[in-house]
Structure formats: C-alpha cells, structure tokens
Amino acid sequence: GENVEQHPSTLSVQEGDSAVIKCTYSDSASNYFPWYKQELGKRPQLIIDIRSNVGEKKDQRIAVTLNKTAKHFSLHITETQPEDSAVYFCAASTSWGKFQFGAGTQVVVTP
Amino acid sequence: NAGVTQTPKFQVLKTGQSMTLQCAQDMNHEYMSWYRQDPGMGLRLIHYSVGAGITDQGEVPNGYNVSRSTTEDFPLRLLSAAPSQTSVYFCASRGRSGVYGYTFGSGTRLTVV
C-alpha cells in the first residue's frame, strides 16, 4: 500500500519568512495530493490540493509543487503570519482510493 | 447543510464497555471514513466505505466494527473498549466528483479508563 513520509516534524519560522514542508510517497499510482491544516483542538481542514497532471498550484500565500518522477510534493507558505501556526498534514491517494496521511508538521510562527 | 456531524464530542468509557460513535453527513457523499488521531501518529485509517452496504478495513481496524446501511450514516462501534483506544476519532466524507478531499467532522475525544 501507499506510504507517505513527511518532513520536518516541527518547523519554527519568523513572521514574514517562508515555510516549506516536504512529503514523499511510494505508490506510483497515486494521483491526488491534498494538504490539511489542523489548529489546536480543531478538525483538519483542506487548504490546497494538487492532481498528478499539474506540477504546481498556488492560492494566495500557499502553493504546492509536485514532482512525479521523484515522488515528492511540497507545501510552500510565503510571508508567514501567526495565524499560520498549526499542524499541517499531507496525504496521497488514487482518485477513488484510500488516503494515506503523513505524520504531520507542527509549524510555529514567532512574531 | 451541516456537513459532517459527529456525536458525542467527549466520552469516557471503562475498560470492557462497548459504545457507538455516530457520524452523519448531509452532502450525499459516497465515501466515508473513520480515522483515529494520536499524538505524533498523524491520522490513521480505521475503516472506510465507498457506498451504502460496502465497507472495508483500514490500517488499524482491530477492536472496531462499522456498517453503512444508508448513504448518510456511518457509525463506528467499539466492541470492548481498551485503554489503547484512547484517542481522538474523526469521521470524514467526500464525493466522487468535484473536490476530492475529505471533509472532516469535529471529532470525538474518547478516554478509556
């Protein structure tokens, strides 16, 4: 089955700097890669996703890139703000298959 | 449109007790899943369903049962609670088209003593 590794497990950044979280996956059949943000005590919420026929997708300050050959994808947050502090999860799946989540990255944005 | 509704929000059980975590969605989603979340372990899939009458096991199914008699409901049953089942449980659903990502319920925090 699919295996997703996520790095780093914790990430501290100064407000205004960029943050990058990287994930690798094992199943070459995976074609859908969502990212979730989970604030303390809340449910995970989808923030951005990318499909395998696209190399990059951007939504305001967040962007995701996908390298199918290397089987890795990354989340980029620019101009970080305190409200970006949360745990971020990546996931991989086939279109109709089970989602495999990474272990999560705790992002702390310090003023 | 309430999304995904989970009940209860909090529950304390004694070892050996059984209970059912309820999950309902009003988005007509075909796919529903149950995840448990433990510190440092991410989200681990317990059971999932691709439609009414169809369920399958995830990576940590032992000690849990599910059924899907309707599109809307996907209850999770703990057969004989154990302290190792202390966790936060999330139900999630998604459709076959449009946004493929899961919509999560607000979670159930379960403690087994």
**What's the gap in Å between the CA of B17 and the closest CA on chain A?**
26
Is residue B86 within 8 A of residue B104, CB to CB? The reply is no
| Average pLDDT, rounded, for chain B | 93
Say yes or no for a CB contact (<8 Å) between A46 and B45: no
d(CA B95, CA A63) in angstroms, rounded, equals: 24
By DSSP bridging, strand A105-110 and strand A10-14 are: parallel
d(CA B53, CA B67) in angstroms, rounded, equals: 7
d(CA A18, CA B71) in angstroms, rounded, equals: 42
Is residue B98 pLDDT above 70, yes or no?
Answer: no
Q: How far is CA A83 from CA A103, B58, B105, in A?
A: 21, 33, 22
Q: Is B85 helix (H, G, I), strand (E, B) or coil?
A: helix
Q: Please, which residues have CB within 8 angstroms of residue B51's CB and are 6 or more apart in sequence?
A: B30, B31, B68, B71
d(CA B56, CA B33) in angstroms, rounded, equals: 10
Q: How many residues does chain A have?
A: 111
Q: How far is CA B17 from CA B13, B14, B77, B82, B90, in A?
A: 6, 6, 11, 8, 20
Between these two residues, B42 and A109, which has the higher pLDDT value? A109
Nearest to B58 among A36, A43, A98 (CB): A98
Percent of chain B exceeding pLDDT 70 equals 96
Say yes or no for a CB contact (<8 Å) between A98 and B106: no
Average pLDDT rounded to a whole number, residues B79-98? 91
Peptide bond into A8 cis (omega under 30): yes
| Average pLDDT, rounded, for chain A | 94
- Residue B101 pLDDT: 85
Percent of chain A exceeding pLDDT 70 equals 98
Encode pLDDT of B9-27 as tens digits: 999 999 999 999 999 999 9
Residues of A in contact with B43 (CB under 8 A): 44, 89, 101
Encode pLDDT of A38-84 as tens digits: 999 999 999 999 998 889 999 999 999 999 999 999 999 999 999 99
State the count of interchain CB pairs (< 8 A) between A and B.
50
